[in-house]
Amino acid sequence: MIIVRLFGGLGNQMFQYALGRRLSYINDCPLKFDTQWYMINQEKTDRRYLLSSFNIAGEIAAKEEIDAFLEKWNRFYCIFNKLFKNRGRCSDVHIVKERHYRFDLEILNIKGNVYLDGYWQSERYFDEIRDLILQDFMAKEALTGKNSHLAENILNSDSISMHIRRGDYISDERSNKYHGVCDLGYYERASSKIAQHVANPVFYVFSDEVPWARDNLSIDFPLVFVDHNLPGKESEDIRLMAMCRHNIIANSSFSWWGAWLNRNPEKMVIAPQRWFTDNKIDTRDLIPNSWIRL
């Protein structure tokens, strides 16, 4: 059995799921999710479990099931934690905690029962089952209302999604120091670069602070601000971003997935050169080789 610890927003959950799906697929074993983080932190964060809107495989594990799964490991945790730095074996149970931000090939070679704890933000963990992941992240429900109308416009224009990530990247001091935000200059450079290759670009702007984006974004091309999908409907924004012909992403796993799910074989994806404020964090495995970093 593979149990994946889920935490954070939808983009994080999708990365965590994708690695779990790869391991469950190659080992032909069940996939389950530990969602206890959302219950424990429900008074501290507005993040919620959101994968249920997709056509995913697997199910939420019961607390009793998680406790039973981890029991063998817990008996020997202190010894193995010291010896293997949060990675070790106890009988047939593997507790795997992410050691660093780079892709870790060893993870894909693990067999047996596995509990995964990390972000796992690299397509190299799951690119060999790309078609399966694309299928899993198809929405269960058909588009309706404004989303249906917007999707029609996106599919019939030279559409480019543009994601402006602010929210806690601005309001939370710790997040701001760790992540930082992409400045307006980045979006101006990115839009100009794409416009050199697109005849009649229309930019569809997604943001957790649409009013700020509307007041501050200055680009000499048509802009459509997407502001109607309320909390809990984040997957709809990802679906719309994926429908665009090209993508400009923020330093955010949310728009990363919007671009990765884009099936246009000729898509141009522009990503920020700096993903974190700390340049020592190695993000070489985060951005696919075909994407452009500015």
Give the pLDDT score at 72. Answer: 58
Pick from 244, 203, 241: nearest CA to 225: 203
pLDDT tens digits along 202-217: 999 999 999 999 999 9
Only one residue has tokens 């008074």, namely 43
d(CA 76, CA 24): 25
What is the C-alpha separation between 123 and 116, in angstroms, rounded? 16
Does pLDDT of 76 surpass 80?
Answer: no
pLDDT at residue 54, rounded to an integer: 98
Average pLDDT along the chain: 91
Q: Quote the pLDDT of residue 74.
A: 56
What's the CA gap between 196 and 179, in Å, rounded? 30
Q: Which residues contact 61 (CB under 8 A, 6 or more apart)?
A: 3, 32, 33, 34, 69
The string over 154-191, giving b where at least 16 C-beta atoms fall within 10 Å of a residue's C-beta and e elsewhere, is: beebbbbbbbbbbbbbbeeeeeeeebbbbeeebbeebb
The pairing of beta strand 93-97 with beta strand 87-90? antiparallel
pLDDT of residue 275: 95
- The dihedrals phi and psi of 151, each to the nearest 5 degrees, come to -60, -40
Instruction: Write down the pLDDT at residue 73.
Output: 56
Place of tokens 């141009």: 268
pTM: 0.92
Mean pLDDT of 243-270: 98
Residue 77 has pLDDT above 60, yes or no: no
The residue among 27, 35, 50 whose CA lies nearest residue 235 is 50
The percentage of residues in the chain with a pLDDT greater than 70, rounded to a whole number, is: 92
Across the range 82-98, mean pLDDT stands at: 60
The answer to whether domain 144-293 has CATH 3.40.50.620 is no
**What is the reported pLDDT for 87?**
47
